Structures are given as C-alpha cells and as structure tokens.
C-alpha cells in the first residue's frame, strides 16, 4: 500500500474528513431517533425531537408556576376547531394550567394512545369513546379518579345520568367522567307517509305497526330491485334491537353473556322476518348503493328509506342538507310487551396511565366534564350527560318549536337508555353480534344458532380476559 | 507488495499442507479503508439492528406471552400457538381465505402482466406513453384506490355490474356476498400489476435478438417463438415475480381494512387483517405476534418450495440444458 503514502497528505485528510462527517451523521441520527432522556424530576418526560405535542412538564408547582399539559383529541375539522376554542377559553380563564391540544383523528387516536401508554409517553389528558373506557380500565390503561373526585368539591357523581356514569365504573372505582352523550330515536318521512295514506302524527310504537307501515312504504321487489324501502331493522345498531325486545345482552354481576334468551331471539326473528319477506340479499344490494349516513346522500334524507333509527347527532346534518324535509322523531318502537329502550353512547374524559401531570390534568378534566361540555353542545349539537344541563339547546338546530320537541325526545331517552355491555372484550363481542346478524340476514343460520355461536365465542374470550386481568 | 508476508500455516490435522494459507494482519491503511466502509454502512446496519432485528426478535418473544400492550407481557409458553391451531376456528378461516386469494391472484397477475409486457415490448412511436399509463395505477395510494374500487364493484350502481347488465349477464353481488367477495378482491389486485409488468419488460428486453432471428429462419411462428425462445429465457424473471407476488399476496391488508373489515361473514377475513385485529383492537398482541410468526414460517416454506422447484424450470442464460 505504499502507493497511498506517495500521493501525499491531501487524500488521507479528505478521507478523515469524510469519516468524521459520516460518524457525526450516524450519531446525530441515533440521537434524533431514540431521544436521549433528560435527567428526570418527578413528573418530567423525555423530550423527543419529533413529539411537538409533548410540552415540557413540571411537577405540580406552588401557585405562580404554570403546569403545561397535553390533551389529545379525536375531533377533527370543524369539531376540532370547536374543541380548540374551548381549550383557549380555559387557558385564558386561569393561569395555573395551560393546555396544548393535539388532534389525532378518530381511527388513529386509539392506536396512538396504546403505543404511547406502553412507551411511557402518553398525554396528560385525553377523551376517548366511553365504551372503550372499561377496556382500558381493566387493563390498567387509564387511572382511577376516585381520589381526585373526592378532593374536588364541584364533582358529585349523582349529577350525571346513571347510564353515563355507570358505564365508566368498574369494581367500585370510577375511571372517567362522561363528556358528551348521544341517544337513538326513530325518524319517519312525513311526506312519504302521507303519500301512502298513513298518518305521520301517529307514528308506529310497536314492531307490528312498523311492519305494516313498512309494507305500504316499500317500492319494488326482491327480483327487480328496490327503489325505496319502508324500513329494515338493521339500518343502525344491532344491540338496541335486543333491548327493544325486552332482552339483555350481558349479566354484569356474573359476567355472563346472555345472548340466547327468548327476547333476543325474538329480536333476531324480527331481522329474519324482513330478510325472508324482502330478500336479505336484495336488501343488501339496495343498501350498498345508498350514500353515507348524515351526508348529503343520506338514505333517509334522500327519501330512499322511509323509517330510520338515527342518533341525536344526525339532527344537525338533517337541518343542513335537507332543511325542508318534513319529518317526525319519536322514541324507538319496541316489541309488543316490552318498553322504551335506547342506547346512550358518548365519550369520556380520562387520564391515561403514565399521565405526567395528573393533578393539573384533573383540573382540566373537571372543567371539560362540567363547563366544557356546556360550551360544546351548542356548537357541536351533541347531547349532555349531566342532569342539570338538559336545557342547553344546540345553535346548529333552528330555534323552532318543532326542533325543540325533537331535541326533547332525545333528551328524554337519556333516562331509559342503556349503555353497551361493560366488558373487556367489547369490540370482539360487537363483531360477533354483527356476524350473527349477517348470518341471519343471508339465511345462513337460524337466530338461535347465530346467537348461540356469538355467545359461546365471546364467553370464552371474556373468561380468559377476566382471568388474566 | 513489500508489506505482504507470506507465511505457510499448517492446516489443522493435515501434515502435508499443500495449500499455503496466506494469513497476514491487514495493513494499517487497508484497515482504515475497512473502518471507513463500516462507517458508511453504519446507518443501514443500525437500521437493520434497531428497526428490523430488534422488533422481529421482540415479536418472537411476545408470541410466547400474553401481552395487552397496556400491561407488561406475561409468559404463557406455547399457549398462543395451541389456541391458534386447536381452539380458534377463525384462524383456519383466515388462512383459507388468504390461500384462496393467493392461489388465484398470483398466477392471474403473472399471466396478465406477462401478456401486457409482451404487448408493451414493441418499438412503436408512443410506446412510452402506454408503458407509463399501465404503470400509473400502482402508484395511486391504496386507500383511495380501495374506496374507488368499492364503488366500481357496487352491486347496484357499479361500473362492472352496469356493463354486465347491459350485455345481459348475471350481476354478482360482489362485496355484499360471501361467495363473490374474494373474487372481488382478486379482481382488485389485478389493477396493481404495473411493477410486475415493468420487470417482465426488462426481462423481455434482455433476450438476445439473434435467437428470434434464428427461430424465424427455422420457420417458427409467433406462438412457437413465444414458447421456445421467450418463455424459457424469461423464467428467471417469472421466478422472481412469482416469489415476490406470493409474499405480497399473503400480506394483503389495506384493502380489507378500508373496504370490508373481514365481512361479510368472514369471507374476506385475510390473515394480516386478522392479526391486526387481535393486536390493536382486542388487546392481544401476544396472540398477534404468534400469528405473525406462523405467517413468516408459511411464507418461508412456500418460498423454499418455489426455490427448490426452480432448479427444474428456471433456465439461466449460460446454462446448458
């Protein structure tokens, strides 16, 4: 290698320079990606270069020092802006806690939260779907709030509707405070009702009446396709059908799935009745060609479906896209012999496990659960979860007698609505239930068989999840 | 060469070492060269270790645990594997669905992209435009393409059923039926044959022209030329596309996630989607890791089969057969 030496110093020193840069580059890539931990105080966090949403946190300081907390929200677009306004109001109203909001849209939030919690870098505060809360709670993913609640004089758990607060309680502990709620009710298209000679002011209250109305309202048949469907039971959630038939899906005390009961079977028989009469496959063909719910092409708003079960959140879409459509909202029709039922679904304010500053975050949580929701409902047209707030009326809805009457129907439902079964395998169960429903629609299984299968599969998962939890 | 020191080293256990093994400590400057080379390779090596080897190793470890992500992993040994093979009927459904899909999508994809490559292998003006156009679908984001395809395959208003209806053929219910949903996905997959076609094109252009001329002199018609000249010399490319196609077919995910979510009635429950469900929705990351490991083994076995069989049907140019 004597040649190299003869070429002189320049070649070697250039090589050294190159090597130096490569080494520097490698080290900086390392530092950037892994994030060297900062020597930690009690609640401080490692500051990683690409995590702009993680503001530096400090231990709960004596008054005078500001606590910065991070809030992850799943509301995006218009609703994300409403959330931002609420957060800004809070930040302006006091100086102890300053909140920084990050938007992680609906599908992403759960994944992002899961990975952040396991990595030890969760936000201080977040709002998740209320039905997800128990799944997190059982696995220790969110913190119990009882100590904070008892220390906060503003909070009295009785102020919330029972259905909302019990959904976030597990084994005597409260894991969240409800944020917004939403219930289901039945809608009918008055113009279509009058067209076929039905009276829209006396909507069908029991299933037999719905069936009779649906028959008159349907245009078309299974072979040549449908132009309009009067009604079909599976255009919304499957579980409400069981409750409307008088059944229960889950025995919380004994932690047993109770899908195979006469009432639930009757609910699935109702599904089968429509599948047999109108053709399950034909209905599926028809519905697959319809537009998305609560958009301009919403099947109900377009008059393609005459009777529909819709959530409270659909009202603002209706007044935006089809303001002139005459319609009636009334409580969901139930099976003869049963009684009013609905579902209450919403979101909940939680502190994730590993929340860097739970004290400060809980202050914001209190604000959101009591004051924030009062600001949210007028803008977003969601419903409240507190008994003392049912008078709040959304700005998005017209201030007419009619709209107030419809809004009242939804609010009244809060008193008798149910929440989803509280169990750590909720998502698995929902999938099983939907598959059972599909197999009945497509004529693959009898209602009892389908429910039995769903029950057995879920019970097995539930038992193993509870055993390890 | 003055620095070379040739030393004869006796090989272990052999008295008459006819082979002199050159063993010398590398010179200082060649050492420096090596170090530089390693430094340049360092980012990629780190990527291999940190982002590939470590997660794969972790996944293998998690497959023997029960891991909800929120709680620390709990060792359960072979329980996940036992559940998979014995207790879980949906595992076999997912495997069946994925194999069904691969068995049809891969050969169809190969045949159609080969046919397309043959068409595109002509030197007519504007051929570049056609090559680009046929490649374009594969660079459309999968999510957007899936949404559009869901509408194309719509039983009532979709493009395909509309055309079928006009000629009086049966209009299948595609994604709403458990019998037609997999064929729907297979048809969707044929849209992305762009890269395969380009690779075939490259392979075609590698075939020496004089072989075609020789064949013509012998009186071969186009079909015979295809069979005797093109295909044999294309077999290495076919082999590559087959292996890559198989590996990709088994990992189909995005389309399932966007369009069907495994329905109706689990007819489109493909393996990776099933894995994702357990890992990220049912809080069973341990089981998901076990599923991933099994998928890895399955793909490896299939790839090995193809590779072993390739000795029989793949002709490399210099070989004598």
Contact flag B265-A444 (C-beta cutoff 8 Å)? yes
pLDDT at B54 over 80: yes
Q: Are A70 and A100 a contacting pair, CB within 8 Å? A: yes
Q: Which residues of A touch B74 (CB under 8 A)?
A: 468
Peptide bond into B264 cis (omega under 30): yes
Angstrom distance (rounded) from CA A194 to CA A189: 9
Other CB atoms within a 10 A radius of the CB of residue B160 amount to: 17
Contact flag A438-B43 (C-beta cutoff 8 Å)? no
Pick the residue from chain A with its C-alpha nearest to B177. Answer: A281
- Per residue, what are the HEC states of chain B? CCCCCCCCCCCCCCCCCCCCCCCCCCCHHHHHHHHHHHHHHHHHHHHHHHHHHHHHHHHHHHCCEECCCCCCCEECCCHHHHHHHHHCHHHHHHHHHHHHHHHHHHHHHHHHHHHHHHHHCCCCCCHHHHHHHHHHHHHCCHHHHHHHHHHHCCCCCCHHHHHHHHCCCCCCCHHHCCCCHHHHHHHHHHHHCHHHHHHHHHHHHCCCHHHHHHHHHCCCCHHHHHHHHHHHHHHHHHHHHHHHHHHHHHCCCHHHHHHHCCCCCCCCCCHHHHHHHHHHHCCCHHHHHHHHHHHHHHHHHHHHHHHHHHHHHCCCCCCCC
Confidence of residue A58 (pLDDT cuts 50, 70, 90): very low
Angstrom distance (rounded) from CA B66 to CA A413: 41
- Predicted pLDDT at A62: 47
- Per residue, what are the HEC states of B28-78? HHHHHHHHHHHHHHHHHHHHHHHHHHHHHHHHHHHCCEECCCCCCCEECCC
- Among partner residues A1, A110, A442, which is closest to B27 by beta-carbon distance? A1
pLDDT tens readout for residues A329-384: 999 999 998 989 999 999 999 999 999 999 999 999 999 999 999 999 998 889 99
pLDDT tens readout for residues B3-42: 444 444 444 444 444 555 566 676 777 777 788 888 999 9
pLDDT tens readout for residues B277-310: 999 889 999 999 999 999 999 999 999 999 999 8
Q: Which residues of B touch A425 (CB under 8 A)?
A: 282
- Among partner residues A22, A353, A438, which is closest to B265 by beta-carbon distance? A438
Q: Which residues of A touch B69 (CB under 8 A)?
A: 114-115, 117-118
Contact flag B69-A29 (C-beta cutoff 8 Å)? no
Distance from the A264 Cα atom to the nearest Cα atom in chain B, whole angstroms: 20
Its ipTM equals 0.80
Choice between A50 and A214, residue whose per-residue pLDDT is larger: A214
User: Is B55 a domain residue?
Assistant: no
Contact flag A19-B35 (C-beta cutoff 8 Å)? yes
pLDDT at B178 over 90: no
Contact flag A289-B154 (C-beta cutoff 8 Å)? yes
Query: Based on C-alpha coordinates, what's the Rg of chain A?
Result: 27
> The domain spanning residue B179 has which CATH number?
1.10.3720.10
Query: Based on C-alpha coordinates, what's the Rg of chain B?
Result: 27
Q: What integer best gives the mean pLDDT of chain A? A: 85
> Based on the structure, what is the number of domains in chain B?
1
- Predicted pLDDT at A287: 86
Contact flag A442-B178 (C-beta cutoff 8 Å)? yes
Contact flag A15-B36 (C-beta cutoff 8 Å)? yes
- Among partner residues B32, B71, B265, which is closest to A139 by beta-carbon distance? B71
pLDDT at A238 over 80: yes
Other CB atoms within a 10 A radius of the CB of residue A405 amount to: 11
pLDDT tens readout for residues B137-149: 999 999 999 999 9
Distance from the B169 Cα atom to the nearest Cα atom in chain A, whole angstroms: 14
Distance from the A8 Cα atom to the nearest Cα atom in chain B, whole angstroms: 14
The predicted model gives B47-59 an average pLDDT of 92
Q: Which residues of B touch A135 (CB under 8 A)?
A: 283
- Residue A231 burial (C-beta neighbours within 10 Å; 0-12, 13-18, 19+): buried
Angstrom distance (rounded) from CA B279 to CA A306: 40
Q: Are A307 and A236 a contacting pair, CB within 8 Å? A: no
What percent of chain B shows pLDDT beyond 70? 90
pLDDT at A50 over 70: no
Confidence of residue A145 (pLDDT cuts 50, 70, 90): very high
Confidence of residue A11 (pLDDT cuts 50, 70, 90): low
- Predicted pLDDT at B71: 87
- Predicted pLDDT at B20: 52
- Among partner residues B27, B39, B263, which is closest to A22 by beta-carbon distance? B39
Confidence of residue B261 (pLDDT cuts 50, 70, 90): confident
In this structure, are strands A184-189 and A219-221 parallel, antiparallel, or unpaired? Answer: unpaired
Q: In whole angstroms, what separates CA A205 from the centre of its chain?
A: 28
What percent of chain B shows pLDDT beyond 90? 57
The predicted model gives A3-10 an average pLDDT of 47
Distance from the A2 Cα atom to the nearest Cα atom in chain B, whole angstroms: 8
- Please give the CATH architecture assigned to the domain spanning A67-182+346-389: 3-Layer(aba) Sandwich (3.40)
Contact flag B265-A18 (C-beta cutoff 8 Å)? no
To test the contact with chain A by mutation, choose from B265, B266, B280, B288 the residue with the greatest count of A C-beta atoms within 10 A, namely B265
User: Is B279 a domain residue?
Assistant: yes
To test the contact with chain A by mutation, choose from B155, B173, B278 the residue with the greatest count of A C-beta atoms within 10 A, namely B155
User: Is B38 a domain residue?
Assistant: no
Contact flag A286-B40 (C-beta cutoff 8 Å)? no
Other CB atoms within a 10 A radius of the CB of residue A380 amount to: 20
Pick the residue from chain A with its C-alpha nearest to B68. Answer: A139
Chain B residues near any Cβ of chain A (below 8 Å): 2-3, 27, 29-30, 32, 35-36, 39-40, 42-43, 46, 50, 66, 68-71, 74, 87, 154-157, 173, 175-178, 262-266, 280-283
The encoded tokens of residue A120 equal: 């030890």
Q: Which residues of A touch B29 (CB under 8 A)?
A: 1, 4
pLDDT tens readout for residues A303-336: 899 999 999 988 988 988 888 999 999 999 999 9
Q: Which residues of B touch A25 (CB under 8 A)?
A: 43
User: Is B276 a domain residue?
Assistant: yes
Q: Are B121 and B205 a contacting pair, CB within 8 Å? A: yes
Question: Nearest-CA neighbor of A125 among A18, A53, A221?
Answer: A53
Q: Are B240 and B304 a contacting pair, CB within 8 Å? A: no
Confidence of residue B58 (pLDDT cuts 50, 70, 90): very high
The predicted model gives A458-464 an average pLDDT of 90
User: Is B293 a domain residue?
Assistant: yes
- Predicted pLDDT at A108: 85
pLDDT at A9 over 80: no
- Predicted pLDDT at A4: 45
Q: Which residues of A touch B281 (CB under 8 A)?
A: 427-428
Q: Which residues of A touch B80 (CB under 8 A)?
A: none
- Predicted pLDDT at B265: 86
Q: Which residues of B touch A297 (CB under 8 A)?
A: none
Q: Are B176 and B268 a contacting pair, CB within 8 Å? A: no
Angstrom distance (rounded) from CA B212 to CA B176: 49
Q: What integer best gives the mean pLDDT of chain B? A: 87
Angstrom distance (rounded) from CA A239 to CA A247: 10
- Among partner residues A281, A428, A468, which is closest to B177 by beta-carbon distance? A281
- Please give the CATH architecture assigned to the domain spanning A184-342+423-468: 3-Layer(aba) Sandwich (3.40)
Highest mean pLDDT out of A98-107, A309-318, B243-252: B243-252
Angstrom distance (rounded) from CA A128 to CA A179: 9
- Per residue, what are the HEC states of chain A? CHHHHHCCHHHHHHHHHHHHHHHHHHHHHHHHHHCCCCCCCCCCCCCCCCCCCCCCCCCCCCCCCCEEEEEEECCCHHHHHHHHHHHHHHHHHCCCEEEEEEECCHHHHHHHHHHHHHHCCCCCEEEEEHHHHHHHHHCCCECCCHHHHHHCCCCCHHHECHHHHHCCEECCEECCEECCECEEEEEEEHHHHHHCCCCCCCCCCEHHHHHHHHHHHCEEECCCEEEEECCCCCCCCCHHHHHHCCCCCEECCCCEECCCCHHHHHHHHHHHHHHHHHCHHHHHHHHHCCCCCCCCCCCCCCCCECEEEEECCHHHHHHHHCCCCCEEEECCCECCCCCCCEEECCEEEECECCCCCHHHHHHHHHHHHHHHHHHHHHHHCCECCEHHHCCCCCCCCCCCHHHHHHHHHHHHHHHHEECCCCCCCHHHHHHHHHHHHHHHHCCCCCHHHHHHHHHHHHHHHHHHHHHHC
Contact flag B157-A289 (C-beta cutoff 8 Å)? yes
Question: Nearest-CA neighbor of B287 among B275, B299, B298, B303?
Answer: B275
The encoded tokens of residue A116 equal: 């952040």
Contact flag B176-A29 (C-beta cutoff 8 Å)? no
Q: What is the dihedral of CA B101, B104, B107, B112, to 10 degrees?
A: -100
Angstrom distance (rounded) from CA A102 to CA A119: 18
Other CB atoms within a 10 A radius of the CB of residue A85 amount to: 12
Contact flag B69-A117 (C-beta cutoff 8 Å)? yes
User: Is B135 a domain residue?
Assistant: yes
User: Is B209 a domain residue?
Assistant: yes
Confidence of residue A43 (pLDDT cuts 50, 70, 90): very low
Contact flag A284-B176 (C-beta cutoff 8 Å)? yes
Q: Are A189 and A327 a contacting pair, CB within 8 Å? A: yes
Q: What are the CA-CA distances from residue A190 to residues A33, A286, A328, B270 (Å)?
A: 60, 22, 7, 44
Distance from the A25 Cα atom to the nearest Cα atom in chain B, whole angstroms: 9
Q: Which residues contact A277 (CB under 8 A, 6 or more apart)?
A: none
Confidence of residue A63 (pLDDT cuts 50, 70, 90): low
- Predicted pLDDT at B313: 85
List strands edge to edge, sheet with A327-330.
Answer: A307-311, A184-189, A327-330
In this structure, are strands A184-189 and A327-330 parallel, antiparallel, or unpaired? Answer: antiparallel
User: Is B297 a domain residue?
Assistant: yes
Q: Can you tell me which residue has the tokens 């990683």?
A: A48
Highest mean pLDDT out of A254-268, A454-468, B304-318: A254-268
Contact flag A140-B29 (C-beta cutoff 8 Å)? no
Distance from the A355 Cα atom to the nearest Cα atom in chain B, whole angstroms: 13
Contact flag B173-A285 (C-beta cutoff 8 Å)? yes
Range of the domain at B258: 79-313
The encoded tokens of residue A261 equal: 């009961």
Contact flag A118-B69 (C-beta cutoff 8 Å)? yes
Measured in degrees and rounded to the nearest 5, phi and psi for residue B192 equal -100, 35
Contact flag B156-A286 (C-beta cutoff 8 Å)? yes
Confidence of residue A38 (pLDDT cuts 50, 70, 90): very low
Contact flag A115-B27 (C-beta cutoff 8 Å)? no
Listed by start position, the domains of chain A span 67-182+346-389, 184-342+423-468
| Fold matches, A67-182+346-389 and A184-342+423-468 | yes
The predicted model gives B157-172 an average pLDDT of 90
pLDDT tens readout for residues A167-203: 999 999 999 999 999 999 999 999 999 999 999 899 9
Contact flag B40-A22 (C-beta cutoff 8 Å)? yes
First to last CA, chain B: 44
Q: Are A319 and A243 a contacting pair, CB within 8 Å? A: no
Distance from the A109 Cα atom to the nearest Cα atom in chain B, whole angstroms: 12
Pick the residue from chain B with its C-alpha nearest to A111. Answer: B280
The encoded tokens of residue B4 equal: 């070379």
């Amino acid at each position: 290698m004597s040649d190299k030496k003869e070429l002189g110093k320049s070649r070697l020193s250039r090589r050294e320079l190159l090597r130096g840069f490569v080494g520097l580059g490698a080290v900086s890539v390392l530092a950037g990606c892994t994030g060297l931990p900062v020597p930690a105080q009690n609640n401080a966090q490692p500051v990683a270069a690409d995590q702009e949403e993680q503001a530096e946190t400090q231990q709960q300081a004596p008054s005078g020092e500001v606590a910065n907390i991070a809030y992850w929200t799943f509301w995006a677009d218009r609703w994300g802006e409403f959330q931002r306004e609420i957060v800004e109001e809070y930040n302006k109203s006091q100086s102890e806690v300053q909140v920084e909001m990050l938007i992680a849209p609906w599908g992403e939030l759960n994944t992002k939260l899961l990975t952040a919690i396991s990595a030890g870098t969760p936000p201080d505060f977040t709002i998740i779907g209320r039905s997800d809360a128990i799944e997190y709670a059982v696995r220790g993913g969110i913190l119990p709030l009882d100590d904070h609640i008892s220390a906060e004089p503003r909070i009295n758990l009785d102020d919330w509707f029972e259905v909302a607060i019990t959904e976030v309680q597990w084994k005597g502990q409260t894991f969240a405070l409800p944020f917004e709620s939403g219930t289901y009710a039945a809608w009918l298209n008055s113009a279509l009702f009058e067209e076929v000679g039905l009276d829209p002011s006396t909507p069908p209250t029991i299933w037999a009446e719905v069936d009779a109305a649906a028959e008159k309202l349907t245009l078309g048949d299974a072979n040549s396709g449908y132009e309009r469907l009067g009604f079909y039971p599976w255009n919304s959630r499957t579980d409400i059908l069981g409750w409307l038939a008088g059944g229960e899906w889950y025995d919380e005390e004994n932690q047993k799935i109770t899908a195979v009961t006469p009432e639930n079977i009757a609910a699935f028989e109702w599904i089968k009745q429509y599948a047999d009469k109108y053709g399950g496959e034909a209905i599926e063909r028809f519905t697959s060609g319809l537009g998305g719910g609560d958009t301009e092409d919403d099947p109900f708003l377009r008059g393609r479906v005459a009777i529909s079960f819709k959530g409270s959140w659909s009202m603002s879409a209706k007044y935006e896209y089809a303001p002139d459509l005459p319609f009636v909202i009334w409580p969901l029709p139930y099976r003869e012999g049963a009684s009013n039922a609905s579902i209450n679904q919403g979101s909940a304010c939680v502190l994730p496990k590993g929340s860097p500053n739970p004290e400060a975050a809980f202050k914001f949580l209190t604000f959101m659960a009591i004051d924030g929701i009062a600001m949210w409902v007028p803008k977003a047209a969601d419903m409240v979860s507190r008994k003392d707030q049912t008078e709040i009326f959304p700005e998005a809805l017209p201030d007419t007698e009619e709209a107030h009457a419809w809004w009242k129907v939804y609010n009244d439902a809060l008193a008798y609505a149910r929440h989803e079964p509280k169990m750590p395998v909720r998502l698995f169960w929902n999938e099983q239930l939907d598959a059972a429903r599909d197999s009945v629609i497509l004529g693959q299984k009898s209602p009892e068989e389908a429910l039995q299968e769903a029950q057995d599969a879920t019970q097995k998962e539930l038992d193993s999840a509870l055993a390890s939890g | 060469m003055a620095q070379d020191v040739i030393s004869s080293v006796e090989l272990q256990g052999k008295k008459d070492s006819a082979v002199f093994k050159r063993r010398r400590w590398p010179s200082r400057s060649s050492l420096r060269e090596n170090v530089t080379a390693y430094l340049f390779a360092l980012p990629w090596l780190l990527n291999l270790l940190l982002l590939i080897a470590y997660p794969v190793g972790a996944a293998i470890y998690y497959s023997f645990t029960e891991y909800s992500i929120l709680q620390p992993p709990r060792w359960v040994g072979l329980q996940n594997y036992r559940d998979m093979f014995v207790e879980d009927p949906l595992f076999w459904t997912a495997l069946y669905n994925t194999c069904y899909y691969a068995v049809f999508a891969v050969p169809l994809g190969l045949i159609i992209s080969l046919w397309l490559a043959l068409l595109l292998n002509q030197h007519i003006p504007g051929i570049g435009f056609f090559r680009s156009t046929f490649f374009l679908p594969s660079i459309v984001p999968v999510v957007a393409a899936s949404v559009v395809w869901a509408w194309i395959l719509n039983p009532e208003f979709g493009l395909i059923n509309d055309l079928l209806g006009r000629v009086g053929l049966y209009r299948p219910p595609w994604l709403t039926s458990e019998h037609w949903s997999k064929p729907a996905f297979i048809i969707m997959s044929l849209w992305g044959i762009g890269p395969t076609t380009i690779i075939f094109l490259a392979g075609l252009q590698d075939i020496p022209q004089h072989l075609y001329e020789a064949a013509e002199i012998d009186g071969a018609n186009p079909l015979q030329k295809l069979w005797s000249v093109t295909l044999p010399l294309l077999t290495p490319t076919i082999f590559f596309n087959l292996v890559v196609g198989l590996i990709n077919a088994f990992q189909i995910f995005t389309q399932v996630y966007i369009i069907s979510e495994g329905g109706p009635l689990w007819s489109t429950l493909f393996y990776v989607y099933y894995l994702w469900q357990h890992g990220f929705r049912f809080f069973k990351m341990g089981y998901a890791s076990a599923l991933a490991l099994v998928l890895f083994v399955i793909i490896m076995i299939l790839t090995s089969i193809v590779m072993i069989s390739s000795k029989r049907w793949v002709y490399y140019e210099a070989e004598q057969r």
